[in-house]
Amino acid sequence: MVSPSQPLSNLQQELLKLYSSDIDEADLLHIKRYLAKYFADKAIKEADKIWEERSYNNDTMQSWLNEDQEKYGK
């Protein structure tokens, strides 16, 4: 979060420029979806990188999913 004494980030500045114009709801929804997809894709790429570095695989995921069941005897 930016405090009053901190300048706006470059993203905040660009969004303010965008929101200063009158954008219809359909375009606004499209922009929101685009931003969500962009950040989701970025997170997935980072997660894939970590999985590759640590040699995680489907067996790793299954082990994680079953940890609570094993711990509590379910």
Looking at residue 42, what is its pLDDT? 98
Establish if 52 belongs to a structural domain: yes
Q: In this model, does residue 71 exceed pLDDT 80?
A: no
Domain presence at residue 50: yes
19 occurs within a structural domain: no
Domain of 40 in residue numbering reads as 24-72
- Answer for the pair 12, 2: CB distance below 8 angstroms, yes or no: yes
Return the higher-pLDDT residue of 52 and 5: 52
pLDDT 10s digits, 15-70: 888 777 888 899 889 988 999 999 999 999 999 999 999 999 999 999 988 887 76
Number of domains comprising the chain: 1
Query: What's this model's pTM, rounded to 2 decimal places?
Result: 0.61
Residue 3: the pLDDT is 61
